[in-house]
Amino acid sequence: MKRLYVRISVNGNPAVVLANASVAAALASTAVGCFHRSPGGEPRLPLCGMGVCFECRVTIDSVPCVRACMTPVREGMQVRTCA
């Protein structure tokens, strides 16, 4: 039987999200304030949702600058944002 939800960690906090979601969609269902910061320090959020704008970059399992909109969630994933 396929799982409907998976458990991930977002900035050290546990979250239960839809199993078929992208990391960007999963983060949108949580209270994350921003995904990363611009060189000037401004908070950035996803814009295009299809991997073109790179505004959804986060750190996943210690790998920086991963595009959250192109990455499916998986059980136990550790996600770090600028928050």
**Per-domain residue ranges of the chain:** 5-80
Q: What per-residue confidence (pLDDT) applies to 30?
A: 87
Structure tokens at 4: 């409907």
Residue 52 pLDDT: 93
Q: Which residues, 6+ apart, have CB-to-CB distance to 63 below 8 Å?
A: none
* Cβ atoms within 10 Å of 51's Cβ, excluding its own: 15
pTM: 0.89
pLDDT of the residue at 21: 94
**What CATH number is given for 5-80 in this structure?**
3.10.20.30
Q: What confidence score (pLDDT) does residue 38 get? A: 86
pLDDT over 70 at 61, yes or no? yes
Exposed e or buried b for every residue in 27-46, given b needs 16+ CB within 10 A? bbebebebbbeeeeeeebeb
Look at residue 83 in the predicted model and tell me its pLDDT.
Answer: 61
| Per-residue pLDDT tens digits for 25-42 | 999 988 887 888 888 988
